[in-house]
């Protein structure tokens, strides 16, 4: 493991920590200049399953919440790596292939040559999500800048103001009462900053957030099905 390289990627590109709710999907975009390979990795902590005991290399899928990530442009799509059992035995000794990864809670897409342009990242899920929601993390290397967080699909839009903000921020929307207020605000590297803010609710549709204890910089507000970028002055 190259810890230094991993730290540099995190520092340069940041890790997005998001959640997907049952029946929904996230979509965001990024740009490439065609000069660098692209690598995307998504991971999540899957709920406890029911492993089969006493078998070696059992092929029974064990994922409980099966998330999927892909990169697309028009009709062209790129899928993650997948281990597939070889045809002569039940062993996973063949080289990995690319396809629909229904086995692992870590999915990685590697593209050695990607033409310059704009591409779409989509995160979806199969079946129904246990507990109705699944947290996941995603990081992208090789793009111009970072994932365009403002392009994330907003299924339940909210109004966030003022922005930039100095001491106080307000979030207004119909889904405010259902928000997980302990996981509302993150910094650029995906760290939860909830312990540094105080949240008060004004009626059912407005949250007032004291952000005076946050350092100056860029943050992300994670509402039910959207991510919004704010600037703390």
111 and 206 both lie in a single domain: no
133 and 218 both lie in a single domain: no
Distance CA 233, CA 217 (A): 7
* CA distances to 31, 140, 216 from 143, in Å: 6, 7, 26
pLDDT tens digits for 109-159?
999 989 999 999 989 999 888 888 888 989 988 888 766 554 444 444 567
Q: What is the pLDDT of residue 214?
A: 92
Q: What's the whole-number average pLDDT of the chain?
A: 82
pLDDT tens digits for 196-211?
899 888 777 888 999 9
Q: How far apart are the first and last CA of the chain?
A: 38
167 and 137 both lie in a single domain: no
pLDDT tens digits for 69-107?
999 998 899 999 988 777 666 667 778 889 999 989 999
76-78/133-141 β-pairing: unpaired
49 and 138 both lie in a single domain: yes
Mean pLDDT lowest among 29-33, 46-50, 189-193: 189-193
21 and 83 both lie in a single domain: yes
Q: Which of 151, 168, 185 is the last residue of a domain?
A: 151
193 and 165 both lie in a single domain: yes
State the average pLDDT over residues 59-64: 84
**Would you say 41 and 108 are in contact if contact means Cβ atoms under 8 Å apart?**
yes
Q: State the Rg of the chain over Cα.
A: 20
**Would you say 40 and 48 are in contact if contact means Cβ atoms under 8 Å apart?**
no
How many residues can be counted in the chain? 233
3-state secondary structure the chain: CCHHHHHHHHHHHCCEEEEEECCCCEEEEEEECCCCCEEEEEECCCCCCCCCCCCCCCCCCCCCCCEEEEEEECCEEECCEECCCCCCCCCCCCCCEECCCCCCCEEEEEECCCCCEEEEEEEEECCCCHHHEEEEEEEEECCCCCCEHHHCCCCCCCEEECCCECCEEEEECCCHHHCCHHHCEEECCCCECHHHCEEEEECCCEEEEECCCCCCEEEEEEECCEEEEEEEC
Q: What is the pLDDT of residue 152?
A: 45
Residue 149 φ then ψ, to 5°: -65, -25
41 and 139 both lie in a single domain: yes
pLDDT tens digits for 148-178?
554 444 444 567 888 889 999 988 876 677 6
> In terms of residue numbers, what domain contains 197?
159-232
Q: Which of 93, 122, 151 is the last residue of a domain?
A: 151
26 and 136 both lie in a single domain: yes
Q: What is the pLDDT of residue 194?
A: 85
Q: Which of 151, 184, 209 is the last residue of a domain?
A: 151
Domain count, the chain: 2
126 and 38 both lie in a single domain: yes
165 and 128 both lie in a single domain: no
Distance CA 114, CA 37 (A): 7
Q: Which CATH number covers residue 212?
A: 2.60.40
pLDDT tens digits for 8-21?
777 666 678 788 88
Q: What is the pLDDT of residue 104?
A: 93
What is this structure's pTM? 0.62
Q: What is the pLDDT of residue 150?
A: 47
172 and 224 both lie in a single domain: yes
90 and 125 both lie in a single domain: yes
Q: Which CATH number covers residue 61?
A: 2.60.120.380
Give the tokens for residue 68.
Answer: 């999927």
């Amino acid at each position: 493991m190259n810890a230094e390289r991993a730290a540099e990627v995190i520092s340069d590109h940041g890790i997005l920590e998001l959640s997907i709710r049952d029946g929904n999907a996230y979509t965001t975009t990024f740009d490439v200049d065609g000069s660098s390979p692209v690598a995307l990795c998504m991971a999540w902590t899957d709920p406890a399953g029911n492993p089969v005991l006493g078998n070696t290399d059992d092929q029974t899928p064990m994922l409980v919440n099966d998330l999927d990530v892909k990169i697309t442009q028009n009709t062209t799509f790129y899928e993650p790596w997948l281990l597939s059992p070889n045809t002569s035995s039940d062993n996973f000794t063949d080289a990995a292939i690319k396809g629909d990864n229904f086995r692992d809670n870590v999915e990685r897409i590697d593209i050695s040559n990607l033409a310059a342009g704009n591409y779409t990242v989509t995160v979806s899920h199969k079946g129904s999500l246990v507990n109705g929601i699944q947290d996941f993390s995603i990081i992208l290397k090789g793009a111009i800048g970072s994932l365009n967080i403002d392009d994330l699909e907003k299924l339940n839009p909210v109004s966030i103001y003022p922005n930039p903000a100095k001491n106080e921020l307000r979030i207004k929307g119909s889904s405010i009462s259902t928000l997980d207020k302990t996981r509302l605000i993150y910094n650029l590297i995906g760290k939860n900053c909830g312990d540094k803010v105080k949240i008060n609710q004004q009626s059912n549709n407005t949250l007032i957030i004291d952000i005076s204890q946050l350092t100056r910089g860029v943050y992300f507000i994670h509402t039910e099905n959207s991510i919004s970028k704010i600037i703390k002055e």
